[in-house]
Chains A and B, each alone.
Chain A
Amino acid sequence: MSPSRVFCCHKGEITNVFMTEMQNNIDFIIIWKKINDKLSVRQEKEFNQWLKADYSHQVFFEKVLHYYKTGEVKNARDHDFINAWKSIEPHLKDQKIRRMPDWIKISASVAATVLIMLSVYLFVDTTTESENVTTAREMIIPPGSSKARLIFDDGESVDLAEGRDFHGEVDGAQILNKGNQISYVGTKATEVAEVKYNTLEIPRGAEYFVILSDSTKVWLNSDSRLRYPTAFVGDVRQVELEGEAYFEVTKNTAMPFQVVSQGQVVEVLGTEFNLSSYNNDDLIYTTLVEGQVKVYTEDNPELTQTLVPGYQTYMYKESGDISVRKVDVNEYVAWKEGVFYFKNENLENMMHTISRWYDIDVIFEQERKRSLKFTGEIKRYENLERMLQLLEETQEVNFTKEGKEIRIN
């Protein structure tokens, strides 16, 4: 990513970069208007500049012209589908077939019944006290707590935790750490001579809450990092995220808020959403709770998905493809309210979430257990044992615990 584009102080240079970009890339609507004779003088000039810039542009324009005149693509011929397969087949590398567990080596029709997974319901009775749960097996694994490391612009850092309040001026900002939250107060963009960045790093087994200089609130989940300027200047408010966070963005239509995360950009004016982008996940999930957000990739900013509340985008990191689906928002934001909420979730994903929060390692002794599905909810601030006991009550899984290692069988 290029924060310099947004935060760089050399204004003259930025303008130049933008100017050249605008002259080179034209929107297709200009070409469409050219064909329909609807260009303004300024657009006509822009069009001609693009057309003259490269011979390939002229060829493209002729093809477009042809299509709109005839309704057919130029030089279209009959497709030769059999040969098409023949021409790609040699390029498909033979994959080394890994030995699959026996259960998967059955015919597709039988596999279908296997894949219709068990759905097991967990019920959490909140009125029962959890005392009787404490099986005297060994060390109890407590839930995550409020902990974080704050890294200043010069690389120096300080560990934050509940009960370690402080108040000071660092990197041109008034920083106040109190309880489980850190806030940036009393900084005015105009007073900032140079943009300084701070990073908040949340380890496994922890969470933290930050209020940025524009009053935007960010809840950070375990194993996450947020990098942000101590004061927002320029025309965009931009932060970088790894891991998971819930954002409540302060409205400022003149200065959009952007969250950049592993190639994905979420752009908002003022709204609430959850973003999950863990390194060991193939996907980045952006779930909208309120308002409207735009989601796109840094490589392909014109391919934008606009989200409305109750919908979620999921981006494949590998290909950059972004799709939209309707979701139960609760499932994705419950963590912020102190609840694990699983809805028809497979055990593998559940254990990813659980291991980050309790800072444990999980080992599956039987591959097939990974895809068992569960539905249920439980408070995040219970000890790990409570969670495991509830799962065991379904009689689908058993856990053995050795220190911080949990085996599933």
Chain B
Amino acid sequence: MRVEDKILFNEIKKGNKVVYESLFHEYYESLVHYAEKFIFDQAEAEDLVQELFIDIWDKSRKIDIATSIKSYFYQAIRNRCLNHLKSLKVKDKHHVLYIEAILGSDDEEVEFIDLDILNKIEKSIDELPPQMARVFRLKLLDGMKQDEIASELDISVNSVKTQLKRARVKLRKALLQKTNLLFIL
């Protein structure tokens, strides 16, 4: 665990609400977007994320984070989304929704992606046209913001947006074909 995260989380354990509020502002929005793609419901996604923040505050003393605060929150919200789906009698054995959430999220880091899925995604990215692949890699694997990608590749923000959108459509098809294949087998 990174030293900064350790200090931050120790503050939370001690009951420092100011630190917790800044953490909330840092992650809330992207966690909601992530959850949304899992359960297709914005209001419910917001509820789940808010409940998560309340529970983590309550239990913070007992929580020992080994990776990073961020990946802990993402893992936890993913669990809650799956539980929500369970109540609707839906399961995600083939990670279709997980892939959706990863593709659709605006804030991603490799560390909380399942290795199996990451492999599949990487293979599918390789099959994209070169520029599209470059944009998507910077976004998903390096976690860069759209404007950062634009200046890195010296293209407009709009064209980054278009490339990302097209990449997602193509990747979704490719990935789901791969999962589909597994499903049939």
Q: How far is the CB of B182 from chain A (nearest CB, A)?
A: 10
**Contact assessment for B50 and A29 in the assembled complex, using a CB-CB cutoff below 8 Å:** no
**Contact assessment for B58 and A88 in the assembled complex, using a CB-CB cutoff below 8 Å:** no
With A24-B89, A300-B79, A306-B115 known as contacts, the answer to whether A73 contacts B25 (CB < 8 A) is no
**Contact assessment for A29 and B3 in the assembled complex, using a CB-CB cutoff below 8 Å:** no
How many angstroms from the CA of A84 to the CA of B61 in the assembled complex? 24
Chain B residue with the shortest CB-CB distance to A316: B63
How many angstroms from the CA of A54 to the CA of B6 in the assembled complex? 45
B180 interface hit (Cβ, 8 Å): yes
**Contact assessment for A63 and B71 in the assembled complex, using a CB-CB cutoff below 8 Å:** no
**Contact assessment for B85 and A54 in the assembled complex, using a CB-CB cutoff below 8 Å:** no
Q: How large is the interface on B (under 10, 10 to 19, 20 to 34, 35 or more residues)?
A: 35 or more
B7 interface hit (Cβ, 8 Å): yes
Chain B residue with the shortest CB-CB distance to A94: B15
**Contact assessment for B58 and A56 in the assembled complex, using a CB-CB cutoff below 8 Å:** no
Q: Which of B43, B75, B91 contacts A321 (CB 8 A)?
A: B75
How many angstroms from the CA of A104 to the CA of B180 in the assembled complex? 53
Q: How far is the CB of B63 from chain A (nearest CB, A)?
A: 6
**Contact assessment for B42 and A76 in the assembled complex, using a CB-CB cutoff below 8 Å:** yes
**Contact assessment for A111 and B7 in the assembled complex, using a CB-CB cutoff below 8 Å:** yes
User: For residues 80 through 105 of chain A, which have their beta carbon under 8 Å from a beta carbon of chain B?
Assistant: 81, 84-85, 87-89, 91-98, 100, 104
How many angstroms from the CA of A81 to the CA of B21 in the assembled complex? 11
How many angstroms from the CA of A26 to the CA of B89 in the assembled complex? 6
The segment from A150-158, A254-262, A322-330, A352-360 found at the interface with B is A322-330
Interface 1/0 per residue, A26-46 and B, CB below 8 Å: 111101100000000000000
B-side contacts of A116, CB under 8 Å: 3
Q: How far is the CB of B24 from chain A (nearest CB, A)?
A: 6
How many angstroms from the CA of A92 to the CA of B53 in the assembled complex? 9
How many angstroms from the CA of A67 to the CA of B38 in the assembled complex? 11
B185 interface hit (Cβ, 8 Å): no
**Contact assessment for B7 and A73 in the assembled complex, using a CB-CB cutoff below 8 Å:** no
Chain B residue with the shortest CB-CB distance to A312: B66
A-side contacts of B79, CB under 8 Å: 300, 303, 319-321
B92 interface hit (Cβ, 8 Å): yes
B-side contacts of A75, CB under 8 Å: 42-43
A197 interface hit (Cβ, 8 Å): no
B-side contacts of A79, CB under 8 Å: 29, 32, 46
A-side contacts of B89, CB under 8 Å: 24-26, 50, 53-54, 57
**Contact assessment for A282 and B32 in the assembled complex, using a CB-CB cutoff below 8 Å:** no
Chain B residue with the shortest CB-CB distance to A109: B7
A60 interface hit (Cβ, 8 Å): yes
User: For residues 50 through 89 of chain B, which have their beta carbon under 8 Å from a beta carbon of chain A?
Assistant: 50, 53-54, 57-59, 61-64, 66-67, 71-72, 75-76, 78-79, 82-83, 85-89
How many angstroms from the CA of A94 to the CA of B60 in the assembled complex? 12
**Contact assessment for B28 and A73 in the assembled complex, using a CB-CB cutoff below 8 Å:** no
A64 interface hit (Cβ, 8 Å): yes
Interface 1/0 per residue, B99-119 and A, CB below 8 Å: 000000000000010111000
Residues of chain A at interface, number, CB under 8 A? 65
Q: How far is the CB of B38 from chain A (nearest CB, A)?
A: 10
Q: Which of B32, B50, B97 contacts A28 (CB 8 A)?
A: B97
Q: Which of A88, A112, A323 contacts B4 (CB 8 A)?
A: A112
A-side contacts of B145, CB under 8 Å: none
Q: Which of A53, A112, A306 contacts B3 (CB 8 A)?
A: A112
B-side contacts of A282, CB under 8 Å: 62-64
B-side contacts of A303, CB under 8 Å: 78-79, 82
Q: Which of B29, B40, B179 contacts A67 (CB 8 A)?
A: B40
User: For residues 342 through 385 of chain A, which have their beta carbon under 8 Å from a beta carbon of chain B?
Assistant: none
**Contact assessment for B93 and A95 in the assembled complex, using a CB-CB cutoff below 8 Å:** no
How many angstroms from the CA of A346 to the CA of B6 in the assembled complex? 14
**Contact assessment for A28 and B94 in the assembled complex, using a CB-CB cutoff below 8 Å:** yes
How many angstroms from the CA of A303 to the CA of B90 in the assembled complex? 13
Residues of A within 8 A of B (CB): 24-29, 31-32, 50, 53-54, 56-57, 60, 63-64, 66-67, 73-77, 79, 81, 84-85, 87-89, 91-98, 100, 104, 108, 111-112, 115-116, 282-283, 300, 302-303, 305-308, 311, 314, 316, 318-325
- If A28-B91, A60-B88, A307-B115 are given as contacts, then 8 extra A-B residue pairs at C-beta distance below 8 Å, sorted by A number, are A25-B86, A28-B97, A54-B89, A94-B15, A283-B66, A303-B82, A320-B79, A323-B112
Pairs A-B, 5 closest by C-beta atoms:
A95-B15, A63-B40, A321-B75, A302-B91, A282-B64
Residues of B within 8 A of A (CB): 3-4, 6-7, 10-11, 14-15, 17, 20-21, 24-25, 28-29, 32, 36-37, 40-43, 46, 50, 53-54, 57-59, 61-64, 66-67, 71-72, 75-76, 78-79, 82-83, 85-94, 96-97, 112, 114-116, 176, 179-180, 183
